[in-house]
Chain A
Amino acid sequence: MSAKILSPQHTFQAAWIDQFHAFCTSDALLKSGRKLAAALVIPAMALALFLILWGGLASRVETSLGTLPGPGKVWEQTQVLYQEHLTEREKAAAFYERQEQRNAAKLEKDPNAEVKVRPYTGKPTFIDQIFTSLGTVTTGFLIASIIAIPIGIICGLSATLYQALNPIIQIFKPVSPLAWLPIVTMVVSAVYVSDDPMFAKSFVTSAITVTLCCIWPTIINTTVGVSGIDKDLINVSRVLRLGWFTKTVKIVLPSAMPMIFAGLRLSLGIGWMVLIAAEMLAQNPGLGKFVWDEFQNGSSDSLARIMVAVLVIGFIGFLLDRAMLMLQRAVSWDKSSTIR
C-alpha cells in the first residue's frame, strides 16, 4: 500500500529506473537475444547442416568427370574463376597498351598514317557473363513492363477490351518462351539487319525471349489490380470530373500499385530463370552459355565450375527479388501491409 503515497514524480522515476534495470538485467536483452537467435543462428545451423550433407553425399556420386564436387572444391573453383577474370583483364590492359604504343609509333613516323583501334577479343570470363546476363534480363524485363502495364490498365478499365484480349493472353501465357526461341531467332536475323548494329543479335534474341515470358504475369496482375478498384473511389473521380489522365495517375495507378508490383516480381523471377535456359539453348553469351561451355569442355573441374554458376544464378535471382521487394515497399502507400 505504500506505493500509493508516492508522488507522481517519484513514481515516474521509479518506473524509469525499473525499466532501465529490466533492460540491463534480462527481459529486453533476453528477448532481443532470442530474436537474434531466431534470425541468425537457426538459418546458420541449417546452412551448416546442408554443407555437411552436401560434402558427405557428393563424393559418393561417381560420374565420367569424376565425383560430384563438394563445397570445398566449389569454393576453390570460385577463386580460380575470379583469378581467371583478373588475368584476362590484365591481358586486355596489356593489349590496349601495346596497341597504343604501336599507333603512337606509327603516328610519329608519319602523322597522316591511318591508325586502327581494335577491341580486345579475348574470351569473356565468368564475371563478364554475369553482367551480360544481368543486362539482358534487365532489358527484356523493362521492355515487357513498358508493354504490359499499359495493356493491363486498359484491360482493367474496359470490360470490352478485357474480353477481347483475354483469350489471347490465356493462350500465350502458358507457352514456354523457349518454344518461341527459334522463331525469335529467325525473325531477329531477318529483321534486325544493320551494318553497325548497336546491340548484338544474340543479345536482342535473348532479351526478346525474356520479354515474351515477362509480359503475361504483369498484364494479368495489373488487370486484376485495376479492375479491383474500390467503386467509391471511381465515384469520387466522377464527382470531381477528373480527366482520364488525372484519374489514371491519381486514382487508378496508386490503387493498383500493389498488384502491379506483385506481377513485376513474378515476371522478373520467371525472366531470370528463362534467360539462363535461353542462353544455353541459343548459345547466346551469358551465364547459360558459360554452363553449357563448361559441360562441353568436360574437364575434371567442369562440374565444380558449373556448381559455382548454379549458386551464383540462385544468389542473383534472390538479389533481384529483394531489389523488387524494396522497390515495392518504397512505392507502396499501405505501409501496414506485410509484403514478402
Chain B
Amino acid sequence: MSTYLSLENIGITFPTDKGPLTVLEDVNLKIAKGEFISLIGHSGCGKSTVLNIVAGLLQATTGGVVLENSEVNQPGPDRAVVFQNHSLLPWLTVYDNVRLAVDQVFGKTKSKQERHDWTLHNLELVHMGHALDRRPSEISGGMKQRVGIARALAMEPKVLLMDEPFGALDSLTRTHMQDSLMEIQAELNNTVIMITHDVDEAVLLSDRIVMMSNGPNATVGEILHIELERPRNRLELADDPTYNHYRAEVLRFLHERHAQPDVPSGKPKAKPQEPTPAPVSVAQETPVIEKPTQGHRLTLAVG
C-alpha cells in the first residue's frame, strides 16, 4: 500500500482558562490513494479536529500532514471540505454556488464554456441538474448537502473531507445520500475521509474505519479493515454475517472498550492499546512514525 496522505504524530493543544488542553495526541494514519476512510468516535473525541487539521483550517501543535510528499499547512481546494451544515452561500443559486468554486479553482486553466460544462457535470453527478436556479433556502436539506458535495467534487480535490455530511438529515434521506455517494465513489474513486456517528454508514461506505479513543488526549484506537465486495448493497448486506460482524466490532469498540464516560473526567485516558481478541479482519495498524523532512517543506515553499 503506497501512502498518499499521511498524518504523522499529530497532536494539538488549545490554551484554555484552566491551562492548556491537549485534544489530540500522536495521531498516526496512512491513507492510500482512492481509499475511503471513516473516522468514528464519541462526541468530543476530536474527530472534527483531525479533519480540520487535514483541511488546513487548524494547525497541529505537533506533527504534521503530508499529502503527496508535501506538507499541508494551509487550507486549499486540493482538500475540499463538505461541511455538516452544507455551508452554501444563501444568496447564490445552486449553479452559482458550484460555479464560484469552479471559477476559483479552474479560472486560469479552463475556458468559460468548459467551466460551465464542468459545473453542470458535477451537479448532474449528484442529481441536482434540475434545480440549477434555486436558492439554498428553496431546496431540502438533502438537496443542499448534494450541492455541497458537488461543490467539493468540482474542485477535483486530491482528498475529499466530509464532516458528518449526513448527520443533519433524516434517516431515509441519509440512506439515499449514502447510495449516491457510493455511486459517485465507484465512478471517481476519490480519496475520502469521512466523519460519522453512524455505525452502519461507516461499515457500508468505508474501506477502513478508524475508531478514535475518547478525549482529551484522543488518538487512533483501532483500525478496522472492511473487506466487503463492492458494489455494496445495503439490503443484501443486512443479513450478511461478515457485515454484521464488522458492525458488532465497531459497536464493541464504542460502547464496551471506549464507552463515553458519564462525567467527562479531567485525567487523560489510558492509551487504548488493550489487547483485544483480534478477529480475522481487525488489523492493528502499527503507527509508523516518520517526521516530515526538510525536503517536504521546501517542496511546499516552491509550489
Which chain B residue has the least Cβ–Cβ distance from A336? B137
| With A235-B81, A333-B135, A336-B137: A241-B76 Cβ-Cβ less than 8 Å | yes
Surface stretch bound by A, among B8-16, B97-105, B166-174, B255-263: B97-105
CB pair A239 B75 closer than 8 Å: yes
| With A230-B87, A334-B137: A241-B100 Cβ-Cβ less than 8 Å | no
CB pair B76 A239 closer than 8 Å: yes
CB pair B80 A239 closer than 8 Å: yes
> How many residues on B have C-beta within 8 angstroms of the other chain's C-beta atoms?
22
CB pair A239 B55 closer than 8 Å: yes
In A216-237, the 8 Å CB interface with B consists of: 230, 232-233, 235-236
In A234-285, the 8 Å CB interface with B consists of: 235-236, 238-242, 246, 250-251, 254-255, 257
User: Given the complex, which residues of A lie within 8 Å of B80, measured CB to CB?
Assistant: 239
Partner of A235, one of B75, B89, B90, B105: B75
Which chain B residue has the least Cβ–Cβ distance from A232? B87
CB pair B83 A235 closer than 8 Å: yes
User: Given the complex, which residues of B lie within 8 Å of A250, measured CB to CB?
Assistant: 89, 100
Q: Which of A239, A255, A335 has the most CB of B within 10 A?
A: A239
User: Given the complex, which residues of A lie within 8 Å of B101, measured CB to CB?
Assistant: 240
A333 to B137, CA, bound (A): 10
Q: Whole-angstrom distance from the CB of B131 to the nearest CB of chain A?
A: 16
A196 to B79, CA, bound (A): 62
Q: Whole-angstrom distance from the CB of A252 to the nearest CB of chain B?
A: 11
Q: Whole-angstrom distance from the CB of B36 to the nearest CB of chain A?
A: 20
A63 to B165, CA, bound (A): 75
The answer, yes or no, to whether B32 is at the interface (CB within 8 Å) is no
CB pair A239 B81 closer than 8 Å: yes
CB pair B91 A333 closer than 8 Å: yes
User: Given the complex, which residues of A lie within 8 Å of B90, measured CB to CB?
Assistant: 333-334
User: Given the complex, which residues of A lie within 8 Å of B56, measured CB to CB?
Assistant: 238
The answer, yes or no, to whether B77 is at the interface (CB within 8 Å) is yes
CB pair B137 A236 closer than 8 Å: no
CB pair A236 B76 closer than 8 Å: no
Partner of A240, one of B91, B104, B135: B104
| With A235-B57, A235-B75: A241-B89 Cβ-Cβ less than 8 Å | no
A257 to B91, CA, bound (A): 10
A251 to B87, CA, bound (A): 11
Partner of B87, one of A233, A241, A246, A254: A233
CB pair A240 B100 closer than 8 Å: yes
In B128-143, the 8 Å CB interface with A consists of: 135, 137
A297 to B85, CA, bound (A): 67
A239 to B151, CA, bound (A): 11
Which chain B residue has the least Cβ–Cβ distance from A240? B104
Given contact pairs A230-B87, A254-B89, enumerate 16 new A-B contacts (beta carbons under 8 Å). A232-B87, A233-B87, A235-B87, A236-B83, A238-B56, A239-B55, A239-B76, A239-B80, A240-B100, A240-B104, A241-B75, A241-B104, A250-B100, A333-B90, A334-B90, A334-B137
A interface list, Cβ under 8 A from B: 230, 232-233, 235-236, 238-242, 246, 250-251, 254-255, 257, 333-336
19 A–B contacts from the bound complex (CB under 8 Å): A230-B87, A232-B85, A232-B87, A235-B83, A238-B75, A239-B75, A240-B101, A241-B75, A241-B76, A241-B77, A250-B100, A251-B89, A254-B89, A254-B91, A257-B91, A333-B90, A333-B91, A335-B137, A336-B137
Q: Which 5 A-B pairs have the closest CB atoms?
A: A333-B91, A232-B87, A254-B91, A238-B75, A240-B104
